[in-house]
Chains A and B, each alone.
Chain A
Amino acid sequence: MNKNLFSFFRICHQWFGLIGGWFLFVLFVSGTISIYDKEITQWMQPELGMYAPTASVSSTALDQAYDSWKQHKQIRKNLIALPSSRDPFIRVLHAQDNMLQGNVIHPQNGNIIPVRATGGGYFIDSFHNNLFIGRFIGGAILLIVGIAFIFVIISGVVIYLPKIVKNAFFVYPKPHTVRFKSDLHTISGFFFLPFLFVVAISGVLFLAPRYLPNTQPLPNAVQTKQHKEFSQQSIRPDLLTLLNKAQIYFNTMPGAILFTKKEVRFIEGDEKQIARLKNYVAFDKKTQQISSFSKKPTIITLVNQTLLGIHTIRSGGHFFRVIFAIMGIGSSVLIACGLLFYSNRKRNSLISMHSIPQRLFYRITEGITIGIIMGTLIAMITFLWSNRLLPAELSTRINWEINCFFISFFLVLGVSIMGSILEKIKYTWLNLTFIFSGLCLLLPFLNYIQTAPYFMAAIHNSNYLYLITDAVIFTCGIIFLRLFFYIKSKGIH
Chain B
Amino acid sequence: MFILVIFINFLSIFCFICSINTIRTRYKLNPSSGMESVYYKTSFTTLNILSLGLCLYCWNNPGWLIWINLTSINAMIVALCLGFYPQFYIKWITSSHSLRKSSH
Write the residues of chain A forming the contact surface with B, with a CB cutoff of 8 angstroms.
166, 168-173, 183, 187-188, 191-192, 194-195, 272-274, 310, 315-317, 319-320, 323-324, 326-327, 330
A172 partner residues in chain B, CB cutoff 8 A: 83
Encoded as 1 (CB less than 8 Å from any A CB) or 0, chain B from 79 to 100 comes to 1101110000000000000000
Is the pair A320, B62 in contact by a Cβ cutoff of 8 Å? yes
- The residue of chain B having its C-beta at the shortest distance from the C-beta of A327 within the complex is B69
B79-A170 in contact (CB<8A): yes
Contact B79 A192 (CB under 8 A): no
Question: Counting chain A CB atoms within 10 Å of each CB, which of B2, B20, B62 scores highest?
Answer: B62
Closest Cβ–Cβ distance, residue B1 to chain A (whole Å)? 9
Contacts of B78 in A (CB 8 A): 169
Cross-chain contact A170 with B73 (CB below 8 angstroms): no
Task: Check B72 against A195 for contact (C-beta < 8 Å).
Answer: yes
**From DSSP, what is the main secondary structure of chain B's interface residues?**
helix
The 0/1 profile, CB within 8 Å of A marked 1, for residues 32-58 of chain B is 000000000000000000000000000
> If the complex has contacts A273-B61, A320-B59, A320-B66, are A170 and B76 also in contact, measured as CB distance less than 8 A?
no
Among A168, A183, A188, A316, contact of B65 (Cβ-Cβ < 8 Å): A316
Which residues from A are CB-within-8-Å of B80?
171
Q: State in angstroms the CA–CA spacing of A113 and B78 once bound together.
A: 48
Question: B11 an interface residue at 8 Å Cβ cutoff?
Answer: no
Q: Are B83 and A170 in contact (CB under 8 A)?
A: yes
24 contacts between A and B (CB under 8 A): A166-B22, A168-B79, A169-B20, A169-B79, A170-B82, A170-B83, A171-B79, A171-B80, A171-B82, A171-B83, A187-B79, A191-B72, A191-B73, A191-B76, A194-B68, A194-B72, A274-B61, A316-B59, A317-B59, A319-B2, A320-B62, A323-B66, A326-B69, A330-B73
In the complex, are the beta carbons of B69 and A315 less than 8 A apart?
A: no
* Chain A residue at minimum C-beta to C-beta distance from B69: A323
CB distance from B29 to the nearest CB of A (A): 14
A-B contacts at CB below 8 angstroms, number: 74
Closest Cβ neighbor of A190 among chain B residues:
B75
Q: Is the CB of A319 within 8 A of B59?
A: yes
* Given A191-B75, A317-B59, 16 additional A-B pairs, CB 8 A: A169-B75, A169-B78, A170-B79, A173-B84, A188-B76, A191-B73, A194-B69, A272-B61, A274-B65, A310-B62, A316-B59, A319-B59, A320-B66, A323-B66, A327-B69, A330-B73
Q: Which residues of A contact B22 (CB under 8 A)?
A: 166
A315–B59 alpha-carbon span in the complex (Å): 10
Interface positions, chain B 1-34, Cβ under 8 Å from A, are: 2, 17, 20, 22-23, 26
Residue of B nearest to A333 (CB): B76
The 8 nearest A-B residue pairs measured at CB: A171-B83, A316-B62, A169-B79, A173-B83, A191-B72, A274-B62, A191-B75, A173-B84
Q: Which residue of B lies closest to A316 (CB)?
A: B62
Known: A171-B84, A173-B84. Is A192-B26 also a contact (CB below 8 A)? no
The answer on a CB contact under 8 Å between B79 and A195 is: no
A192 lies within 8 A of B72 (CB): yes
Complex contact B65–A320 (CB within 8 A): yes
Return chain B residues, CB-CB under 8 Å to A188. Answer: 76
Q: How far is the CA of A169 from the CA of B2 in the complex (A)?
A: 24
Chain B residues, CB < 8 A from A319: 2, 59, 66
**Chain A residues in 8 Å Cβ range of B23:** 169-170
Distance, CA A165 to CA B75, complexed state (A): 14
Q: Is the CB of B61 within 8 A of A316?
A: yes
Residue of A with least CB distance to B86: A173
CB distance from A289 to the nearest CB of B (A): 31
Nearest CB in chain A: distance from B60 CB, A: 9
Bound form: Cα–Cα A151–B80 in Å: 27
